[in-house]
Amino acid sequence: MSETASVEPIGKRERTKLANRQAILMAARRIFAQLGYEAATVRDIIRGTELASGTFYNYFRSKEEVFEALADDGARRFRPILRMAREHARSFKDYLHSAFVAYFRFIVEDNESEGLPIDERRPHVIRMDTPEMMAVYQEVRQSLEEAIARGDAPHVDADYLACACIGIAQEVGGAMLRRAPPAIDEAAAFATGLILNGLAGVPRQG
């Protein structure tokens, strides 16, 4: 009984810490979308939660730390999804399309779960210098290097191509989120065609 008594408070405390941290991150995403990163302040983020101002500083020292945590949070959850797309791809084109679909579905579901209005929907913050985002970049680059080595993809600079894929996913994903309803397959077809064949590969509109 004494063991149970000592374990339960720790479990509850950890759940509370996780809930508080998540509340701060969700509020920050909403505030950054509404005001922009530069204009947003820590006070704005705190106002977006039900937490006391002192509680914020138990988790983050600045809005910069929150920004970095947002980038890592999304990348950490998306990385295994991206790996699955890579493992099940039947060709280079299939990998690109599957990866874009996976990312676009991921950001749509995240935004819908947070209940953001369409004009405030944004992809997760992408910063290439965070540990988790670097891991995602390495995952993408390795997939591209393997495709190039097999002869499935043109022999191009894998570093540039990985960055281009990530940049296109971010920007096209942001535009897709602001459409009602967001067309995941259409956005993925556009991004895939653009990577494979430039503008010549982009599906034409009627």
Q: How far apart are CA 153 and CA 147, in angstroms?
A: 5
Query: What are the E-state strand segments in the chain?
Result: none
**pLDDT on residue 1:** 44
The pLDDT tens digits for 128-157 are 677 888 899 999 999 999 999 999 999 999
Q: φ and ψ at 203, to 5 degrees?
A: -55, 135
The pLDDT tens digits for 54-63 are 899 999 999 9
CB atoms within 10 A of CB 144: 25
Domains of the chain: 1-61 (1.10.10.60), 64-206 (1.10.357.10)
Q: Give 126's Cβ-side CA count (13 Å radius).
A: 18
**pLDDT on residue 183:** 94
The residue among 125 and 205 whose pLDDT is bigger is 205
pLDDT tier for residue 29 given thresholds of 50, 70 and 90:
confident
Q: Which two tokens stand for residue 57?
A: 């500083």
**pLDDT on residue 120:** 55
Inter-residue contact 110 to 122 (CB < 8 Å): no
pLDDT at 172 over 60: yes
CA 102 to chain centre: 11
pTM, full prediction: 0.75
Q: How far apart are CA 201 and CA 191, in angstroms?
A: 9
**pLDDT on residue 32:** 84
Whole-number percent of the chain with pLDDT over 70: 86
Q: Which residue has the tokens 């680059």?
A: 141
- Residue by residue, DSSP assigns 79-137 as HHHHHHHHHH-SSHHHHHHHHHHHHHHHHHHHHHHHT--GGG--PPP--TTSHHHHHHH
Q: Which two tokens stand for residue 88?
A: 């099940």
Range 161-181 average pLDDT: 91
Distances from the Cα of 164 to the Cα of 126, 168, 173, angstroms: 13, 6, 14
Per-chain mean pLDDT for the chain: 85
pLDDT at 10 over 90: no
